[in-house]
Structure 1
Amino acid sequence: MPDFLLEIFGEEIPSRMQARAAADLKHQFAERLKAQGIAHGAVTTYVTPRRLALIARDLPAAQADQTEERRGPRVGAPDKAVDGFLASAGITRDQAEEVETDKGRFYVARLFKPGRRTVAVLGEIVAGLLWDFAWPKSMRWGAEPSTGLSSKLNWVRPIHGVIALFDGDVVTLPLTREGDAGHGIAAGRSTQGHRFMSRGPVTIDDPHAYVAALREAKVMAVADERRDLIARAAAELAFAKGLEIVPDEGLLDEVTGLVEWPVPLMGRIDDAFMDLPPEVLATAMRTHQKYFAVRPRGGTGLAPWFITVANIAAPDGGARIVAGNERVLRARLSDARFFWDSDRKETLESRVAALSGIVFHAKLGTVAQKIERVRALAKALLPYVPGADAAGVDRAALLAKADLVSGMVGEFPELQGIMGRYYARLQGESDTVAEAIAEHWQPQGPGDACPTAPVSVVVALADKLDTLAGFFGVNEKPTGSKDPFALRRAALGVIRLVLENRLRVALLPVFAAAARGHGQDGDTVAADLLAFFIDRLRVHLREQGKRHDLVAAVLGTGTEDDIVRLIARVEALAAFLGTDDGANLLAAQRRAGNILRIEQKKSGERFDQDPDPALYAQDEERALAAKLGTASAATTSAVAAEDYAAAMAALATLRAPVDAFFDRVTVNAPEAPVRANRLALLSRINATMALVADFARIEG
């Protein structure tokens, strides 16, 4: 069966968009084939800076023939209705069938649709992809300069050509749409190789030859191949000098998307710059130049070398490329040297006043105002963080943002906090204050380190809580996939700070205090924030392999705002449900809940009153009532002591009397008082178990 090749060739695709574009192309193409009833084999995508491509294997020559059954009006319906149906189906009354259904006898048209040639369908699919493909950012470009009109076709960058090849034939693309001024794009079988090293157009006659033909034209079409080559060759260059690459997966991915024929080269950093902080060196190389930093093998700090990745195999072995990169880096580091020297002439405290000139958010004031709110909130958080020094916390909160107005952070925003730590130490601040200045931004993601030093923890919590309360108070909440102020990340940061440091923080009063710092309604904002946090906590626990339904079950008992306690209850509940007693008791609770629900719906009554012992007619009722009393008291005491294993053990004692009750007692007794009393006993089972969790929310 033949294969299909699609390549969209144009100007450079931003590196950050390439992997997602390749995945989207594969998914959308496969979905469109499925919608057309065309089976296919493997679909492989390729992406380089200048092309996005796919090869679909084993496509049929044509769609399968289809028979469509279309039901019309009822037999005996008015002639006008029947004639309208026949006309729309393109058949005569003699060709219509009469089919008996459970709703009567109807006219049915069976329409034969012969399968179309796959090559024609592919043209429509590719045209639809080009028109409808969603990029994070896209553009239009002029197609008719003489008229000043431009195409309505959007793509990430201007398209120069398209290969669409099926079974040796070029696929015609019906690209023009109504109102479109023209785009000048037609499919062919030719593409371009490397911008500098290729000797001319590359003609593809067979999809199987695509990757090899591009390689001949000095283009590595497979992104993973380019990535592996960069990593391997860079490591070999470093190893030859007794060094190793500083790991940077993000930079490796980015550089992979910048080159079609990667050639790693090693350059040298002038010794005059090696006394700059290593973070400054690494950031200057990474951010502006996309260089890899290197360090002594097995050591710390940076070595006076770097790895750059050229997009060409130069005749001189890359000597001129290296010299040019060294020259550019020298200029960058000279700027960094200037900022380093000038920043140290002012203290961090003297910079605090300048924060009043930076707007944090139009509705939330300046950064200077934020600092004052953080200081006040940090003071309120002190009792929750053992070992936190009040004076150190206040000092760190005051200076936490001061480096934002330094020259170095202005040039390299990624160094916020890091430079503050350097400047604080140089200016005689304590190590705890200096570390808190750097660490209060953390954690900034799932893989980021979480502060553990008490002063750092307090300031980090206060900063994130102030941000969350502020934005929630002015109704700037995350919606769908949009989270412009990274509030989900901030909430996850708070969750990690609390859990990893095992802080016993009552979140509702803390949220309310943060909101009042903004002059907002503390109770309203606190309730909204707690719901948001619980949702983030579910996501966090699910990523750790914990069951989100158990979180919902524990939360169903009321307003639980201590997430350390919540996690302990979830873990104890999970362990309990893993036992026979737990599983059977859950089944019994569901049975009791179902009976109560049915009876309440029938009678309109609730059965949450205390059972009347005088109405117990069987020993099993009396035994269950007695055990419910002792289990309820033991569970209440254990929950109050936060001994959740003991609480689960108390619930486990209910299994035998509950099983006996359901085995030997008829709940729906004919006598109304007895029936109501037994339903009240079932309600007590639910109430006792609800002391630990809302078992009705547990799945499975």
Structure 2
Amino acid sequence: MADFLLELRSEEIPARMQKAARAELEKLFRRELDAAGVSIGDVTVWSTPRRLALIARDLPEQTEAVSEEAKGPPEAAPDKAVDGFCRKNGVTRDQLEVRDVKGRPTYFAVINKPGQAVADLLASAIPAIIRDFSWPKSMRWGDASISTESLRWVRPLSGIVALLGDTIVECEVHGVTSGAVTLGHRFHHSGDITIGDADDYTVKLRAAHVIVDHEERQNLIRTGAAHVATEAGLKLVEDEGLVVENAGLTEWPIPLLGRFEDDFLEVPPETIQLTARVNQKYFVCEDAAGELANAFICTANIEGSDGGAAIVDGNRKVLAARLSDARFFWDVDRKKTLAEHAKGLERITFHEKLGTVADKVERVAKLAEWLATEGIVPDCDPTLARQAAELCKADLVTEMVGEFPELQGLMGGYYARAEGLPNSVADAIRDHYKPVGQGDEVPTAPVTVAVSLADKLDTLVGFFQIDEKPTGSKDPFALRRAALAVFALINENHLRLPLWISSAAMLALNRRPESYSEKNFEAVWSKETRARFSEAYLHDESLTLEPSKRIAETADSLLDFFADRLKVQQREAGVRHDLIDAVFALGGEDDLVRLLARVHALQAFIETDNGTNLLAGYKRAANILKKEAPTPTPSQNPVTPAKARAQSDADDEANLGSRVRGNDEGSNKTLSYTPEPAEKALGDALAAAEPKAAAAVKEEDFAAAMAALASLRAPIDTFFEEVIVNADEPEKRDHRLGLLARFRDAVHTVADFSRIEG
């Protein structure tokens, strides 16, 4: 057994590519050796700016001999077929064996492969690894680069170290031959370094001021930066991404602390941090009060003879130039108000079918004002909501955001405060993009919530309106993320926002025909008619182009999308998807807070014995009713309020118990026969449970509704044990089927149990 060392040395590898390059090297190495039948032990891969290194432990020196069999054509096959089989397997005809296969003599080739020297296999594998290596960007170089067949690498490949044990694995790749010689630090070491084997590779390079292990360099930077900050009485602002990047830029990292002029602290701190981070790869520090300090930490790649003073001074001058630019942008941008900046949004296209960013801002402003006016976002001033929405995108045309797009929103908040706008408006401008992703802060300030929600709903409605929906893994406009952000805003702030109605109303707002009068439009949005929006809009005779159908279809499609996203989100949170289906299947439920409360109460109930047994009783009742007289079931997809009412009417007309419902339910006065005890008990239990469940649902006390349904468990079990439902007498049969229909409908006040698995 022997250890194998492979080093691929080149000019500087970009830090951002090194992680993927390490994974690629290990993948290709394993591919080649697996194909050669070489068993592999532990594999370690390291990277520095100038090299990729791989060490594979305990490789055999020789592969084992193997014997393989290949089934060929029948013995009576034409000579051409037999000869082709022989050529393919590298045997002659007299080496073939004839065996019986299902009564037919058939040729077999037995191929004995002798063991091979692993060094020879590695010599073939190394060129294949280099040729097949995948880089995000690569280049050709030298005289050979005139040919497209020349080697491509991230930077010019200059050396290969390949050792199996202490023996060189000889190979050549486009003029670069393997050996045992590498190079040390570019400045701290001169001359060649001869590597004896894998064990002394890191030792000899460390002596030459190269730390090969990228994780060790990261630890040195992490702890070293914190140490120099502490020595100066400061606290390091931790940035793990910057740690990794600096480790990819250095082979001998030395964290050094420097200072910049106090005057630059007038610029927003995020600007200073971003300037230092993005342009210079510097860390920043905070003082004891948690405020940004006039200090930076750079990571040098050499040890300065003066303790790094010259390095720090050079970096300070470069950072000062960058900060001067940032201060210039800050001063120039404040010469105009945000409202004046916002006029520039007319020049920016949001989407060719949805107009400019200015058009989007106007839509968002109207919607934010509506959310506040209607009380959907409680305690929100409609005037402030509109003002914040009108200015929320204004910083997109500022110099600062043009230089640092990551600061959009944040800079708008700073400019709003500098202008003297209300704090709630400045906060809304700053935070209206939130939440951006899972785990991000969810706004709770009323004005911010109104603007953030309006912005995301407008994006969703707009792109669904022009049929730019997510498909498969493609979601170019991040609509899935926007939907999750809407859920987070609604849940965190307990907003009562009917998603279908608001979506349809927004569609009417965004793309209404000219014949749709402003008076009618305002009526649709009024508080009194909002709940009946769909019906009123669908039957508005002033619509000459019949856009109402398109609006309803788009709103339905968007609600389906919300339902799918909700299932994914809740499944990740441990909620069963079939329970969400069971609630959505009732139709007309688009209030997220109420829907989730119903789902959570349903899950808690179904997991109890009462829930399990009630579900079994429901399924038995539903099967009987389906066999006797099929009844339309609620739609699988979420439906509009208008569709829900139509579906409900159809269900009522088709119910087997309709004749019984015409009487005094729960009593037996109109029956010509005496009900059996279990039959009467079920009727009495339904008479007691139905109003309780309905009232509890109306009050949104779904736990109480489940408790009312739980009281039906024993009566329905006894009913099935003691009563023959399909009695010969029509009256008995109809009454008992009616009881089952009432039982089913009582359960449907909470959810469609037919959707529940189990």
Matched, 1:438 2:430: yes
CA distance in 2, matches of 1:663, 1:217: 87
Task: Report the alpha carbon displacement of residue 449 of structure 1 after superposing the two structures with TM.
Answer: 1.9
Matched, 1:397 2:396: no
The aligned residue for residue 501 of structure 1 is: 493
**170 and 559 in structure 1: CA distance in 2 versus 1, 3 angstrom threshold:** farther
The aligned residue for residue 650 of structure 2 is: none
**606 and 473 in structure 1: CA distance in 2 versus 1, 3 angstrom threshold:** closer
**586 and 604 in structure 1: CA distance in 2 versus 1, 3 angstrom threshold:** closer
Q: 1:420 aligned to 387, 392, 412, which one?
A: 412
The aligned residue for residue 647 of structure 1 is: 705
Which structure 2 residues correspond to residues 282-681 of structure 1 after superposition, within 5 A?
282-297=273-288, 299-382=289-372, 383=374, 384-519=376-511, 521-548=550-577, 550-558=579-587, 560-583=589-612, 635-653=693-711, 655-656=713-714
Q: For residues 232-287 of structure 1, what are the alpha-carbon distances to aligned partners after superposition, in whole Å with 9 as ceiling and x for unaligned?
A: 11111111122101232332333232222211100101122222222222222122
Q: 1:97 aligned to 96, 99, 103, which one?
A: 99
Q: Secondary structure at the match of 1:57?
A: strand
**192 and 300 in structure 1: CA distance in 2 versus 1, 3 angstrom threshold:** same
Structure 2: which 5+ runs fail to align?
A: 513-549, 634-653, 661-670
Query: Are 1:498 and 1:504, in contact at CA under 8 Å, matched by a contact in 2?
Result: yes
Aligned residues: percent identity? 47
**659 and 41 in structure 1: CA distance in 2 versus 1, 3 angstrom threshold:** farther
Query: Are 1:227 and 1:253, in contact at CA under 8 Å, matched by a contact in 2?
Result: yes
Task: Report the alpha carbon displacement of residue 350 of structure 1 after superposing the two structures with TM.
Answer: 1.5
Matched, 1:244 2:243: no
The aligned residue for residue 47 of structure 1 is: 47
Q: Secondary structure at the match of 2:41?
A: coil
Task: Report the alpha carbon displacement of residue 556 of structure 1 after superposing the two structures with TM.
Answer: 4.8
Q: Secondary structure at the match of 1:317?
A: coil
CA RMSD of aligned residues (A): 4.5
The aligned residue for residue 15 of structure 1 is: 15
The aligned residue for residue 249 of structure 2 is: 258
CA distance in 2, matches of 1:469, 1:691: 30
The aligned residue for residue 114 of structure 1 is: 113
**279 and 198 in structure 1: CA distance in 2 versus 1, 3 angstrom threshold:** same
Q: Match of 2:704, as an amino acid?
A: A
The aligned residue for residue 159 of structure 1 is: 157
Q: For residues 113-161 of structure 1, what are the alpha-carbon distances to aligned partners after superposition, in whole Å with 9 as ceiling and x for unaligned?
A: 53753445555655554444544x222314644x721336554444334
CA distance in 2, matches of 1:174, 1:699: 63
CA distance in 2, matches of 1:282, 1:677: 77
Q: TM-score, normalised by structure 1?
A: 0.82
Task: Report the alpha carbon displacement of residue 396 of structure 1 after superposing the two structures with TM.
Answer: 0.6
Query: Are 1:69 and 1:108, in contact at CA under 8 Å, matched by a contact in 2?
Result: no
CA distance in 2, matches of 1:172, 1:668: 88
CA distance in 2, matches of 1:627, 1:34: 70
Query: Are 2:140 and 2:153, in contact at CA under 8 Å, matched by a contact in 1?
Result: no
Q: For residues 22-59 of structure 1, what are the alpha-carbon distances to aligned partners after superposition, in whole Å with 9 as ceiling and x for unaligned?
A: 34544565466556654433333323333333333333
CA distance in 2, matches of 1:345, 1:481: 44
Task: Report the alpha carbon displacement of residue 290 of structure 1 after superposing the two structures with TM.
Answer: 1.6
Structure 1: which 5+ runs fail to align?
A: 176-182
Query: Are 1:86 and 1:92, in contact at CA under 8 Å, matched by a contact in 2?
Result: no
Q: For residues 171-219 of structure 1, what are the alpha-carbon distances to aligned partners after superposition, in whole Å with 9 as ceiling and x for unaligned?
A: 56697xxxxxxx4455444443333223234443423333333323322
Task: Report the alpha carbon displacement of residue 486 of structure 1 after superposing the two structures with TM.
Answer: 3.3
CA distance in 1, matches of 2:258, 2:449: 40
CA distance in 2, matches of 1:502, 1:683: 35
Q: Match of 1:141, as an amino acid?
A: R
Q: Secondary structure at the match of 2:435?
A: coil
Query: Are 2:284 and 2:295, in contact at CA under 8 Å, matched by a contact in 1?
Result: yes
CA distance in 2, matches of 1:217, 1:313: 13
Query: Are 2:96 and 2:110, in contact at CA under 8 Å, matched by a contact in 1?
Result: no
Q: Match of 1:41, as an amino acid?
A: G
The aligned residue for residue 530 of structure 2 is: none
**286 and 652 in structure 1: CA distance in 2 versus 1, 3 angstrom threshold:** same
Query: Are 1:472 and 1:525, in contact at CA under 8 Å, matched by a contact in 2?
Result: yes
CA distance in 2, matches of 1:68, 1:686: 66
CA distance in 2, matches of 1:665, 1:174: 89
**335 and 685 in structure 1: CA distance in 2 versus 1, 3 angstrom threshold:** same
The aligned residue for residue 212 of structure 1 is: 203
Query: Are 2:66 and 2:115, in contact at CA under 8 Å, matched by a contact in 1?
Result: no
Q: Match of 1:273, as an amino acid?
A: F
CA distance in 2, matches of 1:462, 1:388: 13
CA distance in 2, matches of 1:588, 1:62: 69
Q: For residues 433-471 of structure 1, what are the alpha-carbon distances to aligned partners after superposition, in whole Å with 9 as ceiling and x for unaligned?
A: 111111112222224322111111111111122223333
Query: Are 1:140 and 1:152, in contact at CA under 8 Å, matched by a contact in 2?
Result: no
Matched, 1:226 2:226: no
CA distance in 1, matches of 2:81, 2:725: 58
Q: Secondary structure at the match of 1:510?
A: helix
**287 and 119 in structure 1: CA distance in 2 versus 1, 3 angstrom threshold:** same
CA distance in 1, matches of 2:727, 2:196: 83
Task: Report the alpha carbon displacement of residue 590 of structure 1 after superposing the two structures with TM.
Answer: 7.7
**507 and 163 in structure 1: CA distance in 2 versus 1, 3 angstrom threshold:** farther
The aligned residue for residue 180 of structure 1 is: none
Query: Are 1:140 and 1:151, in contact at CA under 8 Å, matched by a contact in 2?
Result: no
Task: Report the alpha carbon displacement of residue 658 of structure 1 after superposing the two structures with TM.
Answer: 6.3
Matched, 1:141 2:166: no
Q: TM-score, normalised by structure 2?
A: 0.77
CA distance in 1, matches of 2:720, 2:127: 65
Q: Match of 1:415, as an amino acid?
A: L
CA distance in 1, matches of 2:736, 2:82: 65
